[in-house]
Each structure stands twice: as structure tokens, then as C-alpha cells.
A and B are shown apart, each in its own frame.
Chain A
């Protein structure tokens, strides 16, 4: 069983954990295939939780179970310790934002936003104030009379957000809401979503396969793989201390070095990779096989041998220029090909194919991960 308390201390005394969501031992089978396999999650009101994983990892199935569109094969979902597992979607009071916006094409923007109030018996006149306030929240008040098809993708997603928030839901569920937008707009909306979350204090549960979105907005991230929780924690924690090869590779980029522990050396231990000796922070008993994950930006480059515990010479096999940085592919012989990220504006070496350079890193720059 996988379980962890993501709940942290409430930010304010007045908003104690009065609306929490608990997912207990949730499983969903499609025939023999487990889309979600015994997953338990605790999320406290006011958090921004992201379910991150590749396609087929079960993240959308979990979200759809929370929303009520997928009936779990086993397990329970509780809101405030009240079971909602068998409640139909319309009785749950959760706002939801979809990947394709899912605006009603035959209704104007304001009628789309009136809709959740309309089904709750609020007349158009009574709803007018809330509708306008909700549109102002997403800076769309000036386009209230338009039809959805007359809006751009970003504008449509803003309307979808306003519609999902106008009835003050207990939770806001977001299913890859930015994936249909272009890169620049996606970055803008990440800022907006985060500030919206801070202003409203509503719990956001966000599903994405985009690690940048997950890192930039979330309080907590759950990384899913094959229907199971691989690792969960705050973004920095997951990035700096991935537990498995999968996490180190999925969240950001990593170089992987396979070696053999040869015993402790102060606060670190030695790793033999063929005839190269490396120093790695932590402690692993001698003669154990270890897998080291090393972030490309934590490797320093120089023309001469650096005075670092780990250093190796290599030849530049390929490079990409990204404006802010170079990505170098360096052939090192003993350690294989390493990817290195170097800030472009103060690059000390000449990034030309064939040039020899030195790579170096501290023992605590890399982490030991479980191979899976």
C-alpha cells in the first residue's frame, strides 16, 4: 500500500482542515488492466496538488474518480470524512476545467458562466453580479456577449475557469488545461493560475504530463507511474532528491552513471565505474551496485582539470544553443556520454564539436537512485 500525508499545517487558524479530500486505497481495473492500483492520497483544503505522470499512468483516471465520472473498482473517496464515492458528479460541487475547454458552443460567454448557477435555480438577473465578478477574475468581462467560437484558445480557457469557479466549488479539478495552448500563452497562464489559487484559497487538483507546469505551480506533486504512486512531495524535494531512476528522468533531465560502491570515505563513499573512482555523498555498503543520477546543470565545465572531487576529461560530440544556455553532449569514455547544461553568456570554453573539455562536480551534486 502506498500512502502519505501531504497535508501540511493550515495557513490560517480560521481555515482549519474543514474541507479535506481523502483518497483511500483507490483502484480502477479495466478488465485485467489496473489503470489505478491501490492509491491513497490526503489533500488538505487550500493546497495546489499536481498529479504528474506520462500517459497511461492513471492520473486522469484518479481525477475522473474524484469528479465522479469513473466508478472506482475498489477504495473510497471522502470529502470532510464524508464518503462521496457513489455520489453522482452533479452532487459533488467540484469545479472542473477540461483540456479542450468544453464550453457550450451554443451559449454566449456569460450564459456559459450562468449555467452552473442556472441549474441551481438562480435566475439570470440574480446571477448577473456573480457572473460579472467571475469574468473580472479572469479579465474577460469585456467579451461577455461573445460566443465561445469567437474566442482564442487562451480566452476560452479563461472562460472555462470562470465557469468552474462561479459557484464556489469545494475543489477545482483541472485536467491538462493548458496542453492545447502555445508555449508562451501556457507560461502566462501558469502565473495566472498560481495567483488565482493564492487569491481564492480553493483546493486545486491539477493533472498534467508537463513537468514544468508541475514544478512551477504546485505546493505538492504526486508522480504516478503505471497506476501507482512513484514519489510525492514538494517540487524542490522531488527535483533535488528523486528516489527512483524514473523520477530523476521524468522530472527534469538526468545523466545516469552505474557503478560499484567501494566503501565509505568521510561523509561520502567511493564509487568505482570501470577504472574511474568517483565520490558520492551518502552511505552505501561496499560491493553494492549503485545508480547515480546527475543533473546536467550541476556539472561544471573548464579547460583544465578542476579541483573538484569528481573530474573527467571528455570531447564535445554535439551541442545545442538555446539562447540562455548551451546543451553539450560530451563523450567521456569511462562514464559514457554525459549531457551538460552551461549558461551561454559566461561560457568559459569554446563549445565546438571535437574540443576537449573537463567536467567536474561535487559529491553532493548527484544522488543515488533506485533503478526501476
Chain B
């Protein structure tokens, strides 16, 4: 009986702890939602009723719309570059698979390891010399650099499951290396590539530290606009923007999960039909 109690108590403690941590992670995000529908003119919970005026404010305010557009442009470009460069690097390292290429792959993960603020400082100094401070090119380049490691990780994981004999088969059938990459390797590692792209986009879209360092007036990304908005006046539009960002991120994440799940299901079904 005593052991039973201790077991129950232990389980309760673990479960309670887990839920507390989860709540701690999620509640601040949940609070954002009621704030975003407040009827007041400052960041607060709704008083006399709920209102969607701050959502309307976002869609009618030139400043917010242009910031969103800038963020989308930058994130899209950074994603394209990161996916191309990152997957080429991953394929190259996988293809060579020597000690040197393994070191290269590890070396490429440095942007994840080095503190962002240190990188931002370094880029600030360097971007001045290059004359790309406060330009689209400068921000896209910086975001590409931080996104590449994520693409390398997801693509490398996909390649680990890719049978080298498929590449050999393609080559022996007369396909050049570019043809082999386009028609055989890329379709096989597509899930890893898409995951990498998703990561790259998300990271670029909400990156702020570097943006604060390497931009001034011309470039205003969405996170930077939110940051300034909080500093200037506590505009509830920020809460509306944050809510929409959370919703968008959640949607992308679920999409990723769904795509993976469907692929897995299809493979399992196919496997059960064969043999």
C-alpha cells in the first residue's frame, strides 16, 4: 500500500511538473489573443467588449503592411538562397563523405553555435566595409547565413536514408550528375528540403537581433516594427500582429507534420501491398 502511494505521488509530481512547464511555455502566447481583441487604445485586456479594430488597423496601416511585405521578401529570398546553398553543401559532403567533408559539415553549423549578438556585431562591422548596411542585400545575406545550417541538418538527415545505389543506377543509365541531382536525388530528399525551407523561412521571418544591428531607416522588417511599436507607444496592433504570426507559424508547423505523416502512411501502405 505504501509503495502504491509513493508511486502515485511520484507520478502526480512528474505530471504536475510537466503541465506547469507546458503552461509556462504556452500561457504568455494565449494571453496575447485576448489583448489583441481589446477595445482599449493601449495594450490591455478587453474592458467593455471585444473589438477587431486592431486587426483592421494592421490591414489599413501603410507602415505595418510595408513591414510585412519587406519581411516576406527578405524571408523568401533568404529561404531560396539557404535551400540552394545548404542542400548543395549537404549533397557534396554526403557524396564525398571523407573526414574533410565531415569537418566542413560541422563547420557549417557554427552560425547556430555562435551567439547571435556576436555575429550581428561582426556583420555590422563587415557590412559597413561592404557598403550593404541598411539594404535588402545585407539583410538577405545575413539571414541566409543563419538559415543555411538548418537546411544542411534536415537535408543531411534525408540523405542518410538515400541509397547510394540509386545514384549509381542513374549514372549507369546515362544520367549526368546534374540530371541525377534533379531527377533522382532531389525528389528523394524533398521532405528534408521542404523542412529546411520551412525552418529557413521562419528563422528569417522573426529574426530581429541582426536586423537591429545592420539596418537603420530603409529596412523595417515586421519584428523590428513590433519592437519599435512597443518602445514608442503600447499599440494593441502589436498583439494583433503577434496573434496572426502565431497562427501562421502554427499552420506551417501543422502542414509540415501533415506532409510527413501522409508520406509515411503512403510508404507503409505501399510496403504492405508489395510482397
Contacting chain B: which of A71-79, A144-152, A290-298? A144-152
Task: Pick the contact of B172: A67, A118, A149, A152 (CB < 8 A).
Answer: A67
Q: Is the CB of A89 within 8 A of B168?
A: yes
Interface assignment of A351: CB less than 8 Å from any CB of chain B:
no
Q: A120-B174, A163-B173 are in contact. Are A69 and B168 (CB under 8 A)?
A: yes
Interface residues of A in 122-152 (CB under 8 A from B): 147, 149-152
Interface assignment of A54: CB less than 8 Å from any CB of chain B:
no
Shortest beta-carbon distance, B29 to chain A, in Å? 38
Q: Is the CB of B169 within 8 A of A88?
A: no
Interface assignment of A153: CB less than 8 Å from any CB of chain B:
yes
Q: Is the CB of A115 within 8 A of B172?
A: no
- Which of A99, A103, A105 has most chain B Cβ within 10 Å? A105
Q: A149-B267, A150-B270, A152-B274 are in contact. Are A105 and B172 (CB under 8 A)?
A: no
Q: Which residues of B contact A67 (CB under 8 A)?
A: 168, 172
Q: A98-B165, A150-B274, A152-B274 are in contact. Are A116 and B173 (CB under 8 A)?
A: yes
Query: How many of chain B's residues touch chain A, expressed as a range?
Result: 20 to 34
Interface assignment of A250: CB less than 8 Å from any CB of chain B:
no
Interface residues of A in 66-108 (CB under 8 A from B): 67-69, 88-90, 92-96, 98-100, 102-106
In the bound assembly, the distance between CA atoms of A167 and B174 in angstroms comes to 9
Contacting chain A: which of B74-82, B144-152, B182-190, B211-219? B182-190
Q: Is the CB of A119 within 8 A of B173?
A: yes
Task: Pick the contact of A102: B166, B187, B271 (CB < 8 A).
Answer: B166
Q: A149-B274, A153-B275 are in contact. Are A95 and B172 (CB under 8 A)?
A: yes
Q: Which residue of A lies closest to B164 (CB)?
A: A102
Query: How many of chain A's residues touch chain B, expressed as a range?
Result: 35 or more
Interface assignment of B179: CB less than 8 Å from any CB of chain A:
yes
Q: Which residues of B contact A167 (CB under 8 A)?
A: 173-174
Q: Which residue of A lies closest to B267 (CB)?
A: A149
Interface assignment of A164: CB less than 8 Å from any CB of chain B:
yes
Q: Is the CB of B168 within 8 A of A149?
A: no
In the bound assembly, the distance between CA atoms of A98 and B165 in angstroms comes to 7
Interface assignment of B163: CB less than 8 Å from any CB of chain A:
yes
In the bound assembly, the distance between CA atoms of A116 and B172 in angstroms comes to 9
Q: Which residues of B contact A104 (CB under 8 A)?
A: 166, 169-170, 183-184, 187-188
In the bound assembly, the distance between CA atoms of A100 and B165 in angstroms comes to 8
Q: Which residues of B contact A100 (CB under 8 A)?
A: 163, 165
Contact with B along A144-180 (1 / 0, CB 8 A): 0001011111000000100110010000010000000
Interface assignment of B260: CB less than 8 Å from any CB of chain A:
no
Q: Which residue of A lies closest to B168 (CB)?
A: A69
Q: Is the CB of B165 within 8 A of A93?
A: no
Interface residues of B in 227-275 (CB under 8 A from A): 267, 270-271, 273-275
Shortest beta-carbon distance, B60 to chain A, in Å? 46
Q: Which residue of A lies closest to B273 (CB)?
A: A150
Q: Which residues of B contact A149 (CB under 8 A)?
A: 267, 270-271, 273-274
Q: A115-B183, A119-B176, A150-B273 are in contact. Are A96 and B188 (CB under 8 A)?
A: no
Interface assignment of B8: CB less than 8 Å from any CB of chain A:
no
Q: A98-B168, A115-B183, A119-B179 are in contact. Are A90 and B174 (CB under 8 A)?
A: yes
Q: Which residues of B contact A68 (CB under 8 A)?
A: 171-172
Q: A96-B168, A96-B172, A120-B174 are in contact. Are A102 and B163 (CB under 8 A)?
A: yes
Q: Which residues of A contact B173 (CB under 8 A)?
A: 90, 95-96, 115-116, 119, 163-164, 167
In the bound assembly, the distance between CA atoms of A229 and B30 in angstroms comes to 74
Interface residues of B in 115-171 (CB under 8 A from A): 163, 165-166, 168-171
In the bound assembly, the distance between CA atoms of A74 and B163 in angstroms comes to 29
Shortest beta-carbon distance, B159 to chain A, in Å? 14
Q: Which residues of B contact A105 (CB under 8 A)?
A: 188
In the bound assembly, the distance between CA atoms of A100 and B274 in angstroms comes to 15
Q: Is the CB of B169 within 8 A of A102?
A: yes
Q: Is the CB of A147 within 8 A of B172?
A: no
Q: Is the CB of A88 within 8 A of B171?
A: yes
Q: Which residues of A contact B165 (CB under 8 A)?
A: 98-100, 102
Q: A90-B176, A153-B275 are in contact. Are A98 and B171 (CB under 8 A)?
A: no
Shortest beta-carbon distance, B269 to chain A, in Å? 9
Q: Which residues of B contact A88 (CB under 8 A)?
A: 171, 176
Shortest beta-carbon distance, B190 to chain A, in Å? 8
Q: Which residues of A contact B174 (CB under 8 A)?
A: 90, 93, 116, 119-120, 167
Interface residues of B in 180-224 (CB under 8 A from A): 183-184, 187-188
In the bound assembly, the distance between CA atoms of A156 and B163 in angstroms comes to 16
Q: Which residues of B contact A173 (CB under 8 A)?
A: 172
Shortest beta-carbon distance, A372 to chain B, in Å? 34
Interface assignment of B43: CB less than 8 Å from any CB of chain A:
no
Q: Can you list 17 A-B pairs with a CB-CB distance of less than 8 A?
A: A69-B168, A89-B171, A90-B174, A98-B165, A102-B169, A103-B169, A104-B166, A106-B187, A115-B173, A115-B183, A116-B175, A119-B176, A120-B174, A149-B271, A151-B274, A160-B169, A173-B172
**Interface of B with A (CB < 8 Å)?**
163, 165-166, 168-176, 179, 183-184, 187-188, 267, 270-271, 273-275
7 pairs of A and B residues whose beta carbons are closest in the complex? A149-B270, A116-B173, A96-B172, A102-B169, A102-B165, A89-B171, A119-B175
**Interface of A with B (CB < 8 Å)?**
67-69, 88-90, 92-96, 98-100, 102-106, 115-116, 118-120, 147, 149-153, 160, 163-164, 167, 173
